[in-house]
């Protein structure tokens, strides 16, 4: 069946007119986000966070010592200065709350990484490839399980007593033959991952309508966050009240103290018991316009999530490794809307008491035009899967051959980067 764009009720003109209300009008359906948990042998904890929307690693961990960075990112460098990390890198100012972890060796980053995905820059395909863990640059529809599930399949003593889901998307990374469970709060207002991706695809090439859609999705994320928090506290909130609060919260970057993140609190409560592996997603990283405002807010929430986990885990934090990854990075240049477009090379986050932090890992390729991928994106110098694979090898003793052939087909792990203690 084909769609007639003249008869389609969700037109670009209607979207522009509704503006900030798009979050409610498009998506009056239950949230599908997942936080999943699973038992595993041993005492090590692994937390995998999928940052949906293509996080801009060049803004998160800024290569201020690169001579070409300032020319590429003039708007990025406006506002509060970045926080020095190493001789070349500095941290986004809205992640300042994480600096005590950096100094304690419990926070690190990996730069210039990506999946094998190239050139097409679709959120749909990029996330599918990231969570499937395949070595192809196109989704392999024959692969029905995610790489975390394939890890569980290698563990003969793995159980399924604790496995839950809370959030904004299916966690394909843990879906598969190995048993796990899921849990989701009651929610009535939200934008499903499929609807969000459809809107992004529809309006990607039109800056005017794309920015309106982006604003609506930001409001939807805020409403969903408020519902999730209210559900965790056993409270109800009217849709109108949520919309008003969402509009206020979505404008500036967060500057005041934040309440503990309910998803991270719930994850910590399971990980201090029999659960050993947890995964959930954080959405909202697609920053085509107003990147300073969008990422400032999201980085504050990301910091709050990590700190909530650390507090909730208590002494178990010392046994915990958190890795956060995204489907691809963003362009080296800013666009005319104060944002960045879909790119290739990006960055990942490491946290926990089990990591060797206080370091930015990876081989930096530089930002000169000839050093960029297709003269537009940060050039990947490592496969993001290799860092996940070495984490599994060190935490659970998984055979290297199994990691390279079964869990991450086609992967060459290379040498151990030494990210764990």
pLDDT digits (tens, 9 = 90+) for 278-313: 999 999 999 999 999 999 999 999 999 999 999 999
Q: Determine the Cα–Cα distance for residues 376 and 72; give it in Å rounded to an integer.
A: 10
**pLDDT band of 158, cuts 50, 70, 90:** confident
pLDDT digits (tens, 9 = 90+) for 323-350: 999 999 999 999 999 999 999 999 999 9
Instruction: Inform me whether the pLDDT recorded for 80 exceeds 80.
Output: yes
Record: fold of 19-407: Alkaline Phosphatase, subunit A (3.40.720)
**What pLDDT is recorded for position 266?**
87
pLDDT digits (tens, 9 = 90+) for 361-390: 999 999 999 999 999 999 999 999 999 999
**What pLDDT is recorded for position 156?**
76
pLDDT digits (tens, 9 = 90+) for 220-260: 665 555 555 555 444 444 444 444 444 344 444 455 678 99
List the domain boundaries for the chain.
19-407
- For range 183-202, the mean pLDDT: 55
**What pLDDT is recorded for position 17?**
38
Longest pairwise C-alpha distance within the chain? 60
Instruction: Inform me whether the pLDDT recorded for 393 exceeds 50.
Output: yes
Indicate yes or no: pTM above 0.85.
no
């Amino acid at each position: 069946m084909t769609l007639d764009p003249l008869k389609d009720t969700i037109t670009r003109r209607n979207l522009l007119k509704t503006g900030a209300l798009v979050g409610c009008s498009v998506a009056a359906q239950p949230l599908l986000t997942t936080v999943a948990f699973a038992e595993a042998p041993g005492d090590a904890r692994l937390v995998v966070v999928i940052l949906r929307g293509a996080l801009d690693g060049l803004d998160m961990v800024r290569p201020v010592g690169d001579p070409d960075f300032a020319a590429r990112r003039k708007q990025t460098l406006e506002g509060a200065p970045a926080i020095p990390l190493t001789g070349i890198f500095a941290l986004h100012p809205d992640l300042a709350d994480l600096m005590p972890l950096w100094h304690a060796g419990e926070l690190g980053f990996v730069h210039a990484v990506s999946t094998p995905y190239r050139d097409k820059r679709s959120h749909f395909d990029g996330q599918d490839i990231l969570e499937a863990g395949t070595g192809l640059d196109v989704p392999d529809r024959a692969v029905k399980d995610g790489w975390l599930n394939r890890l569980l399949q290698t563990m003969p003593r793995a159980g399924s007593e604790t496995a839950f889901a809370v959030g904004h998307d299916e966690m394909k990374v843990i879906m598969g033959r190995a048993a796990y469970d899921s849990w989701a709060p009651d929610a009535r207002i939200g934008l499903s991952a499929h609807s969000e991706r459809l809107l992004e695809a529809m309006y990607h090439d039109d800056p005017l309508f794309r920015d309106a859609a982006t604003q609506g999705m930001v409001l939807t994320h805020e409403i969903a966050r408020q519902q999730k928090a209210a559900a965790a506290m056993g409270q109800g909130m009217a849709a109108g009240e949520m919309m008003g609060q969402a509009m206020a919260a979505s404008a500036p970057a967060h500057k005041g103290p934040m309440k503990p993140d309910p998803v991270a609190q719930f994850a910590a409560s399971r990980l201090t018991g029999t659960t050993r592996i947890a995964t959930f997603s954080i959405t909202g990283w697609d920053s085509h316009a107003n990147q300073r405002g969008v990422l400032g807010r999201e980085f504050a929430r990301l910091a709050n999530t990590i700190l909530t986990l650390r507090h909730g885990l208590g002494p178990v934090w010392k046994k915990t490794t958190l890795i956060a990854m995204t489907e691809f990075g963003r362009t080296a240049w800013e666009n005319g809307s104060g944002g960045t477009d879909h790119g290739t090379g990006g960055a990942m986050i490491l946290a926990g008491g089990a990591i060797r932090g206080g370091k930015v890992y990876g081989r930096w390729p530089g930002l000169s035009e000839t050093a960029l991928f297709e003269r537009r994106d940060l050039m990947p110098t490592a496969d993001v899967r290799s860092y996940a694979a070495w984490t599994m090898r060190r935490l659970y003793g998984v055979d290297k051959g199994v990691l390279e052939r079964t869990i991450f087909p086609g992967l060459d792990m290379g040498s151990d980067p030494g990210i764990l203690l």
